[in-house]
Structure 1
Amino acid sequence: MSRPLPEPPEAGVLNAVRFGTDTFRFLDGVQARYRDGVAIPIPGRPPLVVVTNPELVHEALAQPAAFRRVPAQAAAALIAEHGLVQSDGALWRQQRGIMNPAFDSRRVQAYANEVGRRVEALADDWRGRGTFETNVHRAMTQLTVRVASEILLGEDIGPDRAAQFHEWMQTAGEEFEFGLDSVAPDWLPDRISPEFREAAEGIRGLSEDIIERRRRLLAEGDDDMNLVTMLLRAADDPDVDYPPNQIRDEVATFLIAGHETTALSLTYTLALLSWHPESRDRVRAEAADALGSGSPTHDDLSALPYTQRVYREALRLYPPAWATFRRASQTVRLGEYRIPEGAAVVMPQWSIHRSDRYFDAPEAFDPDRWERRSPSDTPAYFPFSTGPHACVGRNFALSGATLTLARLVRDFDISIPENALDDLRVTPTLRPADGVPATIRAAD
Structure 2
Amino acid sequence: MTLAEGVRPRLAAGALSEEEVLRLRADFPILDDERLVYLDSGATSQKPLAVLDAERAHLLHENAAVHRGAHALAAEATERFEDARATVAAFVGAEDEELVWTGNATGALNTVAFAIGNASAGRGGAEAARFRLVPGDEIVVTELEHHANLIPWQELAARTGSRLRFVPVDDEGALDLEEAARVIGPATRIVAFSHVSNVLGGVNPVDALVALARGVGALTVLDACQSVPNLPVDVKALGVDFAAFSGHKMLGPTGIGALYGRRELLDALPPFLTGGSMITTVTMERAEYLPSPQRFEAGTQPVAQAIGLAAAVRWLDAVGMARIAAHEAELGARLAEGVAAIDGVRLLGPAPGAPRVGLASFVVDGVHAHDVGQFLDDRGIAVRVGHHCAQPLHRRLGVTASTRASTAVYSTRHEVDLLLEGVRDAVAFFGVRS
Fold match by TM threshold 0.5: no
What TM-score do the two structures reach when normalised by structure 2?
Answer: 0.26
What TM-score do the two structures reach when normalised by structure 1?
Answer: 0.26
Indicate the structure with greater helix content.
Answer: 1
Q: Which has the higher contact order (CA 8 A, sep 6+)?
A: 1
